[in-house]
Each structure stands twice: as C-alpha cells, then as structure tokens.
Amino acid sequence: MQTVLISGVGRGIGLELCRIFLSRGDKVIGTYRGNIGAALQMLIGPHLTLVELDVTDNVAITELGNKFADTAIDLLINNAGVIGPEGSLAQDIDSQQWLHTFHVNTIAPFQLTQALLPALQQSSKGRVMTLSSQMGSLHRATTGMVAYRTSKAAVNKAMQVLALELTPMKIAMCMVHPGWVQTDMGGADADISVVESAQGLVKVSDQLNMDRTGQFLTWQGEVHPW
C-alpha cells in the first residue's frame, strides 16, 4: 500500500490513475478544480482525499505542501495539463495564453515537486512522475501547437534538472509520454484508451527507482528520445 498524490483527477488520465490506485488499495490524494463530477464522486471513500487546487495558484501550492508536510507521500504524479493555443507561423499566438500553457505544464510541476518535497522525504520510496508528451520531443521536427510543444520540452528539462538535485535524497523522478490517449485532450480518434494508458503509467511508476531517475519514458516503460 502506498500514498499517491495526483494533480488533476477530475477527468481524463488523472481520473483513471486515481481509479486504478484506489482499486489496488493504495491511498490517493487527488487535486481537482471546480465541481466534483459524477465519475470522481463515485470514487469517494476512506482512501481518497480530495483537495481543490488550481496549479497556477502559487499560494495554494504552498498550502498543499504545508498541509501534507507530515504525511509520507510515496509518489507524486504531475498530471494536470493544458493543450494551449494552436500556434504556428501562420497563426498568431496570444502571448498570455502561451504563458498560461507554460505555467500549467512547466512551472506548476516544478513548484508542486518543491512544495511536496517534505512529504516525499517522509517516504522511504519517494518518487515523482511527470506527464510529458512526445510533442515536446526535440528528436522529431514537427510543426504547429508551438505553445504546447515548448511547454512539454521545457518541463522535460526542468524535471531533468530537478532529478539531479533529488538524487542525494534518493527520490527518483521520470517524465512519461502517456501515448496518444482518448481523453478530452487527445480526442476520440486517439490511439489508445485511457485505461490502457493509465495501466501502463501505473506500471512505470511501480518500476521507477534510482536506476531510472531523470529519464524520459513511454507509457510502456521504454526510453523515449529527448
């Protein structure tokens, strides 16, 4: 049994991760925004703690860290994300929207990890898994979605830096591409179901240790090219 903190459990991959961990008997602290939808409502029970959090709210992130400073959190999953404005040479991007995408996808995972460090240090197997995307990979040149792509490329770098800093504390950290997943973000035509993706991500998190720290992986546990 472990305690997992997941950001963005209201829908999509975060909701499914929450469901799987609870079904195994793990404890989940899930952050959500706004109303608790019917699907999340059904998961409420003694092993689920829900905390309202907009990940762009710095004060709320600090409060979250303080609230759980004495709780051993074994696994933090930075899942909350936004796809951001389209953006290409032919399409102007609103700079505020681009910055918002950066805030949610890049800065918030860094800040959440920082804030929850005391809780992660309470655990003997503290780990951090951040949802990245193949769309942020520099390996393959592609066009469009420049805000989203840059935010995911940047979160990979930010987390790689953090992974080194967390090494003396024996806290392992990885970035994971969850596949192209049938969620609101991925759309109905995506390659894999949310269940398939989340099952893979849970397995990756189970196998995450110091030997794999700092790596960019796929939802199937393979190394993803940067």
Residue 82 or 147 with smaller CB distance to ligand NDP: 82
Residue ranges that bind ligand NDP, judged by CB under 6 A: 8, 10-14, 33-34, 53-56, 79-82, 104, 131, 133, 177-178, 180-181, 183-186, 190
CB of 110 to ligand NDP, least distance (A): 14
Give the shortest CB-135-to-ligand NDP separation in angstroms.
Answer: 7
Closest distance of CB 211 from ligand NDP, Å: 24
SS3 readout for the chain? CCEEEEECCCCHHHHHHHHHHHHCCCEEEEEECCCCCHHHHCCCCCCEEEEECCCCCHHHHHHHHHHCCCCCCCEEEECCCCCCCCCECCECCCHHHHHHHHHHHHHHHHHHHHHCHHHHHCCCCCEEEEECCHHHCCCCCCCCCHHHHHHHHHHHHHHHHHHHHHHHHCCEEEEEECCCECCCCCCCCCCECHHHHHHHHHHHHHHCCHHHCCEEEECCCCECCC
For the bound state, the minimum distance from the C-beta of residue 139 to ligand NDP, rounded and expressed in Å, comes to 15
Q: Which is nearer to ligand NDP, 113 or 183 (CB)?
A: 183
Q: 64 or 181: whose CB is closer to ligand NDP?
A: 181
Q: Among residues 114 and 123, whose Cβ is nearest to ligand NDP? A: 114
